[in-house]
Structure 1
């Protein structure tokens, strides 16, 4: 198992390295404009040159990238060119908020999708068709449109939840749950259908296997066969798509966090990219990459535990 995890982590490190190189050199195309914005649109070329020297933009890109890598390996991602705050503090605090939304959505998706998928597979007929229809509708509705609909109904009309804003758990657990409820639901709706369909398909395939008929012929109840054996065999594909959904939700959180005024990575990514704040953008890319690699590794470990054959693949 350790060798299995080591291979996955090594692959993840390579992915993060490639992503860092690609992002850094793509950002260089707008670096000169960033110095002009910091110095002011009416600043003289001399003043812009002073800013470029302070930011290190007067050095060759390869040299700057080497310096960034050396600092990053030591845990220093630099400081924001515009605010001056340490990038590590900014990104990690905001990442905690974004990951909370993504994890909450994944958990809610897993619970609802497994129930719907299992019901659709076990009771073929109108319920099966209804689950498939709901899944298609959920996937067809854009996340931002769902978010606006939830705000209109549950925040404005019913006044059950706050329309915008974020309450930290340290301030109030109840307020925190209320502030993330609508964003989590908005992220969840679009992902339920895909996971439910995967669970349904895996369970239907498992029902046709010989071991299920053998277990039933030995007198085991249908419920026991489903919960003890069929669901476990369907768990592997479901875990794979849940891991993929987590990555997608991290991206979808950018729009949802902006709509709900939640201080996650979304608003920071948009503002730093539009400003050309390279240290913050690089910090977001690297930290997000690390989170994705860790989550995928955990999913692979869970799959290997459920199905030992995965370790040999």
Structure 2
């Protein structure tokens, strides 16, 4: 297990370096002059030139990149052009919101998807047909449309849940959860179908194995066979699909955050793009990449723990 983690961490280093390089140069290609935008349309060319020098934008591109990359190696993501606040500080404040929604959405996807998949594999017939229908519908609904519908129903028509805002979990766990219920459903429903289909196929495959018939003949309760043996042996591909769903959930949160007024990284990044705050955009992209790398590492470790055959020895 330790060797597996070491290999995955070693592979993540060049990936992060490549992403950092591509992120920097792609963000630099964004049209518009940050200095001119910050000063407004009434600024003189002298004022724009002075701000270019103050922000370091008058230096050659390669020099700016090497300086930025060197600071990055020391954990410095730069400083916001607009607020003059450390990019790392801004992201550290916003990232818990985004990760909270993505994690809750992934848990929601797993619970509902695995339950439906198990039902389809064990019962078959009408249950299987319903799961296939529901899974296909869930994957087809745009999350931004679902978010608007959820707000309309549960925050306006029947006001039982808050429509916007965020409460830190340390302040009130109950209010924190209440504010994230609707975003969680809006983001997580799209992945239910994929998890349900994967669970259905994996469980059906395990149910056809010889060891299941042996356990049934030995008189073990059906629920114990399904929970302890079948689901465990089928969990590898399910966990992998859930990991991919978490990555997609991070992307969906960027859109959904603006609908629910959540102060997450998605909202922060969209605002930074609009006001040409390049260090904040670059830092947000790198932070997303880091979260994805960590999620993939955790997934590999979970799969290895569930299935010793994939461990490196």
Using structure 1 for the length normalisation, give the TM-score.
Answer: 0.96
Q: Does 1:182 find its partner at 2:182?
A: yes
Distance 2:306 2:128 in 1: 26
2:159 counterpart residue number: 159
1:271 counterpart residue number: 271
1:112 counterpart residue number: 112
1:2 counterpart residue number: 2
- Name structure 2 gaps, 5 residues minimum: none
- Name structure 1 gaps, 5 residues minimum: none
- Name segments (4+ residues, structure 1) moved above 6 Å: none
Using structure 2 for the length normalisation, give the TM-score.
Answer: 0.96
Superposition CA RMSD, Å: 1.6
Report 1:50-199 matches (<5 A): 50-199=50-199
Q: Secondary structure at the match of 1:16?
A: helix
Distance 2:112 2:30 in 1: 44
Distance 1:27 1:223 in 2: 53
Comparing 87-96 with 22-31, which one deviates more in the overlay?
22-31
CA contact (8 A) 2:27 2:282 kept: no
Distance 1:276 1:31 in 2: 9
Distance 2:8 2:260 in 1: 35
Comparing 268-277 with 221-230, which one deviates more in the overlay?
221-230
CA contact (8 A) 2:88 2:283 kept: yes
Distance 1:305 1:169 in 2: 30
Q: Alpha-carbon deviations, 1:11-66, whole Å to 9, x = none?
A: 22222211111110011123761121123223222222211111111112221111
Distance 2:191 2:24 in 1: 31
CA contact (8 A) 1:27 1:276 kept: no
Distance 2:232 2:89 in 1: 40
Q: Secondary structure at the match of 2:223?
A: helix
Give, in angstroms, the shift of residue 284 of structure 1.
0.7
1:23 counterpart residue number: 23
CA contact (8 A) 2:121 2:204 kept: yes
Q: Secondary structure at the match of 1:92?
A: helix
Q: Alpha-carbon deviations, 1:144-203, whole Å to 9, x = none?
A: 111011101110011101111112223322222211111111111111111111111101
Distance 2:201 2:13 in 1: 33
